[in-house]
């Protein structure tokens, strides 16, 4: 079955977006403490596809060995069971860091399509959102799609589903 990976920094809103996407309040664990997802979590959707919640990276309160293990787990997943697409989630108020660039590159090298999902879009006004979307589109130089999303307002959730449906129908 096709799978779609959701990756991002700790506290990027991965679990909230997954819950919103699947219309379930507490399917993926949402926590005020960043870095709670430390393993791969597979969610079977309508017996047709998997949503895979990958461990967060960045400022999670984990030891260096644990962080290294999570990184190996992520790269092993991309290598052994590549998803159709990786949705790289990032707080819209943050700038792209080396971790995001490294993950994008790792996916693209393996032929995995990437969509940058700028989460927490409800935290910015429309003008700021458009500027940020433009800036991130320029950074990606057209090699990846960019979507703004908000689990709170539902913004971008339909766009995520359209992307998933398009990938499945074109495979």
Tens digit of each residue's pLDDT (9 = 90 or more) over 130-170: 898 888 887 777 678 899 999 999 999 999 999 999 999 99
Q: Where are the domains of the chain?
A: 9-36+58-81+89-170
**Domain over 9-36+58-81+89-170 is classified CATH 3.40.50.300:** yes
Give the pairing of strands 49-53 and 41-45.
antiparallel
Give the pairing of strands 49-53 and 145-148.
unpaired
Q: End-to-end distance of the chain based on CA atoms, in angstroms?
A: 11
Tally of residues, the chain: 171
Query: Which residues, in sequence order, are CB contacts of 25 under 8 Å at separation 6+?
Result: 19
For all residues of the chain together, what is the average pLDDT?
Answer: 86
pLDDT digits (tens, 9 = 90+) for 19-65: 999 988 777 776 555 555 667 899 999 999 999 998 887 655 667 78
Question: What is the DSSP secondary structure assignment for residue 108, as one 8-state letter?
Answer: H
């Amino acid at each position: 079955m096709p799978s779609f990976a959701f990756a991002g920094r700790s506290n990027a809103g991965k679990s909230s977006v997954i819950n919103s996407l699947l219309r379930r309040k507490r399917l993926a664990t949402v926590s005020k403490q960043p870095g709670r997802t430390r393993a791969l979590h597979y969610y079977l959707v309508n017996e047709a596809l998997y949503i895979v919640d990958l461990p967060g990276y960045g400022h999670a309160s984990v030891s260096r060995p644990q962080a290294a293990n999570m990184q190996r787990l992520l790269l092993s997943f991309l290598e052994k069971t590549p998803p159709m697409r990786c949705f790289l989630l990032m707080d819209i108020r943050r700038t792209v860091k080396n971790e995001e660039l490294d993950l994008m590159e790792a996916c693209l090298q393996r032929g995995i399509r990437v969509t940058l999902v700028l989460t927490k879009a409800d935290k910015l006004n429309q003008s700021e959102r458009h500027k940020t979307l433009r800036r991130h589109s320029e950074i990606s130089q057209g090699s990846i799609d960019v979507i703004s999303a908000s689990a709170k307002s539902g913004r971008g959730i339909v766009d995520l589903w359209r992307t998933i449906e398009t990938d499945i129908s074109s495979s």
